[in-house]
Structure formats: structure tokens, C-alpha cells
Amino acid sequence: MALDHAILVSLLERPGSGYELARRFERSIGYFWTATHQQIYRVLKRMESDGWIDVREVPQQGRPDKKEYSVAALGRTALSEWLHQPIEPESVRHDLAVKIRGAAFDDPAALIREVERYRQVHNERLDHYLAGEVRDFTGPQAAHAPGPPDAGRELQHVVLRGGIAYERMTLAWLDDVLATLRGLASDR
């Protein structure tokens, strides 16, 4: 039910088309909320007919026209209401943990390769986050720059730090997993 709200936040940060949103959901927002373009277009349509968002047809040269969505007053209200509701416990779907426990009834050693590959994915994601942090949250306009602190920036940064902490924790755990799997493989 919160894809609506994830889209609203993204549109508040910057108005955009369904296509652009879909791309954002492959990067920044996508790291803590996944959605495909089919979902996005459907939700956009519903939110538009509910008056939560406004559309503006933007003609473009050299590429198809697009519909740029932005958040309307009703959408802001809906988001605000949602923000004031209790945080719900995350619903987890952790394939790898199931596979690890399942490996006891199959071949634990066979998982090693896959876990190594998986580890690489997370390593790349960490690098990506760290590069983003340097790009967006260091330098002249950061920290103690003149003027009021930008709440949006600070909040985006703390979410990014969460992503970084998550990836580091995951990498350390995957090393633990690999050591355990290798231990089981060499014990026989």
C-alpha cells in the first residue's frame, strides 16, 4: 500500500514521468522500495484520477512526448497522513536465508559459488553507494555551509548511510556464510 507514498515522495523530490520514476526505482529509491514500470503506470493513473497528482504533457524533440507528474495538494495531505501513522514492521522475503537452511538437505558446497556471486553484487552496490555519497554529500555545499541546513539533504544522507551500513553488514555476514559452507565442505 505504500508504493503510492514512495512515488509521492519521489515526485516531491522532483516531478517526473512514469518512465523516469521507473528508472529511479532501479536506483536510489529502488534500494529500499522495488517497483516495475507496470506498477508505476497503474498507480500514477489511479493517483491522477483521485486528484493526488497533476499531469502536464511535455513535448520533446528527438524523443517521445512525456507526461510529467507532480504532487497536488490532495497528494500532500495523503502523504502527511501516512507519515503520521505507526511504522509497520517490514515484511521480509530473504531467499538466501531459506536456501542456506535448505542446503542442509542438499549439497551445502554447491551454494558456495552462488554466495560468492551474490557477495560481488553487494560489493558493487556498496561501491555505488559510497561513490554517491562522495558525489552528493561532500564538498563545498555540505555540512557547515552558509544558510539553513537543508532538511531534505540531511534526510537523504541518513537513508544512504543506512544503505551503506546494510551493505557492509551483509558483506561481513556473507564472509561468515562462506567460511561456514567451506568448513562443512572440507569436513567430509
Partner DNA sequence: AGCCTCATGTAAAAAGTTACATGATTGG
Partner DNA sequence: CCAATCATGTAACTTTTTACATGAGGCT
Q: Give the interface with DNA as residue ranges (CB under 7 A).
A: 1, 3, 17-20, 22-23, 34-39, 41-42, 44-45, 60-67, 91, 93
Residue 78 vs 181, nearer CB to DNA: 78
**Residue 18 contact, options DNA, its own copies, none, Cβ 5-8 Å cut-off depending on partner type:** DNA
Are 128 and 173 in contact by the 8 Å Cβ rule? The answer is no
> The C-alpha cell of 69 is what?
507528474
**Nearest approach, Cβ of residue 128 and DNA (Å):** 17
Residue 70 vs 133, nearer CB to DNA: 70
Q: How many CB atoms lie within 10 A of CB 73?
A: 10
Query: 67 exposed, middle or buried (CB, 10 Å; 0-12, 13-18, 19+)?
Result: middle
**Nearest approach, Cβ of residue 160 and its own copies (Å):** 10
Are 71 and 8 in contact by the 8 Å Cβ rule? The answer is yes
**Nearest approach, Cβ of residue 132 and its own copies (Å):** 14
Residue 63 vs 117, nearer CB to DNA: 63
**Nearest approach, Cβ of residue 173 and DNA (Å):** 23
Cα–Cα distance list, 50 to 8, 95, 132 (Å): 13, 36, 35
Q: Give the CB-side neighbour count of residue 82, counting CA atoms within 13 A.
A: 16
Residue 126 vs 159, nearer CB to its own copies: 159
Of 112, 48, 56, 102, give the one whose Cα is nearest residue 75: 48
**Residue 98 contact, options its own copies, DNA, none, Cβ 5-8 Å cut-off depending on partner type:** its own copies
Residue 17 vs 28, nearer CB to its own copies: 28
